[in-house]
Amino acid sequence: LKRKGRNMPRVLIDRRPVSAHSHSGACKVGALMFKTHVSSLPFKRGRFPLATPVRASSSSSSSSGISQITPPSLISEGPCAHASAGGGGGGATTGTGTAMSAAIALALLATPQPALAETVAVGGVASAFAAYGHYASLFTIAGALAVERVTVTAKPTKEQLDRLVAADSIYGIAGVILLGTGYMRAKYYGKGWEFYAHSPVFWVKLALFAVAGASSLLVTTKVVQAAIADNKSEDGDVPEFGDALAQRMIKVINAELLAFGAIPLTASLMARGIGYNQDFPWQAGAALVALPAVGLSAKYLKEAFDTKGEWEK
C-alpha cells in the first residue's frame, strides 16, 4: 500500500511471498492487521514520536524481509512476539501465537477507524490560521511602534495626536491577538505544553513580551490623557507633551522595539530545542515572566501619573 499524506496510517509491508497455511504466514497476516491499526492512531505531536523507521532483520523468520514503520514501543508487543519468542519450542507455543494473532486481528478489524484525513485537514487549517495570526500580529505591533516612534513630538498637531491614538489602539489589539494565538499554538498546535514548559528560551520569550507590554503603559497612559484633554479643550488647542516627556516616551518606544525584535530570535532557538532541559522547572520560568511584568507595570504606571504633560502643569 502506498502511503499518501503526512499523517496517514503507517502500513507494515511484507515483500516476501508467504503461505497462508503456514504458521509464519498466519502470524504475519495478523501482524499486518495489528500494526496497520495501531500505527494509525493519532499520537499527539511532541509527546510521542509518530513513527520510527526500523530496519528489517534477517535473524529470524518472523522479521526477515519485512519493512516496517511503527512506534518503537509497539515493536516488541506485536502479535508475533509470543510466537517468535518460543522459536522451535513445540506446537503449543506455535498454536498459541497463531491463535493470538488471529484474535487480535479480528478484534482490531471490528474497531471503527477514525477519519484521519478529515482530522488532519481540520487540524492543519486551524494550526495554519493560528500561526498566521501569531506572525501577523507581531508584524502589526512592530509597525504600530514604528509609527509612534516617528510621530511623538513635544508639540503634536491635531493630526499627529490622532495618529498616536490610532497607532496605540492597533498596538494594543495586536498584542492581545499575539498573546491569544501564542497560547493556542503552545497548547494545541505546537510541540505540546510539556516541551515549552521545560524550555528556558520559551520563558525568556514570554519575559520579553512582558517587559515590552509593561513598558508600553507609560506611552499609552500619556496618549490617552492627551486625547481626553483634547476632547475637553474648548479653545481648540492641542495638548503638548513637552520636551522632557516626549524624549522619555521615545526612549521607551525604542526599548519596546528592541524587545519585540528579539522575540523572533528566541522563537527560532526554542523551535530547534536549543536550551531544552527536561529537569527545568516551569515554576522558575513563570517567575521569570511574572516578576518583571508586575514590577515594571507598577513602575511605569507610577511614572506616567507623576510625569506631567504641558497641559497638566
Q: How much of the chain, in percent, has pLDDT values that exceed 70?
A: 61
**Residue 78 pLDDT exceeds 70:** no
By CB atoms closer than 10 A (0-12, 13-18, 19+), residue 236 is: exposed
**Residue 299 pLDDT exceeds 90:** yes
- Of 98-107, 114-123, 296-305, the least confident: 114-123
User: Which pLDDT does position 235 carry in this prediction?
Assistant: 79
**Residue 10 pLDDT exceeds 50:** no
- Where residue 93 falls among pLDDT bands split at 50, 70, 90? very low
290/12 Cα distance (integer angstroms)? 50
Residues with Cβ within 8 Å of 267's Cβ and at least 6 positions away in sequence, in order, are: 205
- Where residue 208 falls among pLDDT bands split at 50, 70, 90? very high
Which range of 105-119, 223-237, 290-304 scores highest in mean pLDDT? It is 290-304
Q: How much of the chain, in percent, has pLDDT values that exceed 90?
A: 52
User: Which pLDDT does position 211 carry in this prediction?
Assistant: 95
The three grid cell numbers given for residue 167, joined into one nine-digit string:
497607532
**Residue 148 pLDDT exceeds 80:** yes
What is the average pLDDT across 271-285?
94
User: Which pLDDT does position 95 carry in this prediction?
Assistant: 54
CB 275 within 8 A of CB 200: yes
The three grid cell numbers given for residue 305, joined into one nine-digit string:
501619573
191/100 Cα distance (integer angstroms)? 37
CB 122 within 8 A of CB 202: no
Q: Which of 211, 207, 197, 191 is nearest to 275 (CA)?
A: 197
**Residue 87 pLDDT exceeds 90:** no
The three grid cell numbers given for residue 149, joined into one nine-digit string:
516612534
Q: Is the dihedral of CA 118, 124, 127, 129 positive or negative?
A: negative
Q: Which of 248, 243, 256 is nearest to 216 (CA)?
A: 256
- Where residue 203 falls among pLDDT bands split at 50, 70, 90? very high
**Residue 65 pLDDT exceeds 80:** no
- Of 75-79, 217-221, 256-260, 273-277, the least confident: 75-79
Q: Average pLDDT over the chain, rounded to whole?
A: 74
**Residue 242 pLDDT exceeds 50:** yes
Question: Residue 244: which region, alpha, beta or left (left: phi > 0; alpha: psi -120 to 50)?
Answer: alpha
CB 130 within 8 A of CB 184: yes
277/279 Cα distance (integer angstroms)? 5
298/223 Cα distance (integer angstroms)? 18
User: Which pLDDT does position 310 carry in this prediction?
Assistant: 77
User: Which pLDDT does position 122 carry in this prediction?
Assistant: 56
149/166 Cα distance (integer angstroms)? 13
What is the average pLDDT across 184-192?
88
User: Which pLDDT does position 108 carry in this prediction?
Assistant: 53
